[in-house]
Amino acid sequence: EAGVAQSPRYKIIEKRQSVAFWCNPISGHATLYWYQQILGQGPKLLIQFQNNGVVDDSQLPKDRFSAERLKGVDSTLKIQPAKLEDSAVYLCASSRDRAETQYFGPGTRLLVL
Amino acid sequence: KQEVTQIPAALSVPEGENLVLNCSFTDSAIYNLQWFRQDPGKGLTSLLLIQSSQREQTSGRLNASLDKSSGRSTLYIAASQPGDSATYLCAVLTQGGSEKLVFGKGTKLTVNP
């Protein structure tokens, strides 16, 4: 069974630029999560999808971050414009359903200069 | 608001030593508690998951315990090896509303040959 795929693996941008990350969850998984992990911290949930609907986006900075999950499969997370403090690893995870085991992708490491 | 604390933040031991990592959480309304391993530049690998009704789980040289009433969990690693060097993260899956994983900051373990 293929795992959670993410791309790109690394991205370097200048502040005020925009960036997008892509996630392909495990086939058949209804729930998809995006986490932000700042160096030295544990991951923090940004947004949770159930199929193509948003369950929780309470910690998503909506003035600059947006995410979508069209057709309830792949998802994209966008930052526009980026700030220095957005430098972090962005992790995508999926689970068969809510409250079930989450499987994590390798993450996208973002550096904002 | 659920908070997860891990002690110690870093630990260095000689090879072969048995060791314990600690995790505490503030709200006992959880579905489960999970221990993850994170290698530098990599995603998260799930090690053990303990359901809220369980007291412990074992996998090879790893044993995790859960005392939900006191809000504590421990991860016991027997006969440590240099390959165990990584950051270990504890996370609880919260109940109510959106089921989200709340992570601690992790314990960075170094096992010296």
Query: Which residues of chain B does A98 touch, with a Cβ-Cβ cutoff of 8 Å?
Result: 98-99
What digits encode the pLDDT tens for the residues A25-66? 999 999 999 999 999 899 999 999 999 899 999 999 999 999
Beta strands, E only, A44-112: 44-50, 53-56, 65-68, 75-79, 88-95, 103-104, 108-112
The answer to whether the CB atoms of A43 and B101 lie below 8 A apart is: yes
Taking residue B17's Cβ as centre, other Cβ atoms within 10 Å add up to 12
B11 close contact with A: CB closer than 8 A: no
Residues with Cβ within 8 Å of B15's Cβ and at least 6 positions away in sequence, in order, are: B80, B81, B82, B111, B112, B113
Chain A 29-88, residues with CB within 8 Å of chain B CB atoms: 33, 40-45, 48, 55-56, 58
pLDDT at A1: 64
Residue pairs spanning A and B at CB distance below 8 A: 51
Q: Per the structure block, which two tokens stand in for B107?
A: 């314990």
> Which candidate from B34, B41, B98 shows the least CB-CB separation from A55?
B98
User: Can you tell me the distance from the alpha carbon of B85 to that of A97, in angstroms, rounded to the nearest whole number?
Assistant: 32
Name the residue in chain B with its Cα closest to that of A41: B105
What digits encode the pLDDT tens for the residues A71-99? 889 999 999 999 999 999 999 999 998 88
The answer to whether the CB atoms of A45 and B101 lie below 8 A apart is: yes
pLDDT, greater one: B49 or B96: B49
User: Can you tell me the distance from the alpha carbon of A15 to that of A22, in angstroms, rounded to the nearest whole number?
Assistant: 20
**Cross-strand pairs, B21:** B75
Q: What is chain A's length?
A: 113
Of B21, B4, B2, B18, nearest to B87 by C-alpha is: B21
pLDDT at A2: 81
Confidence band, pLDDT 50/70/90 cuts, at residue A7: very high
Taking residue B63's Cβ as centre, other Cβ atoms within 10 Å add up to 16
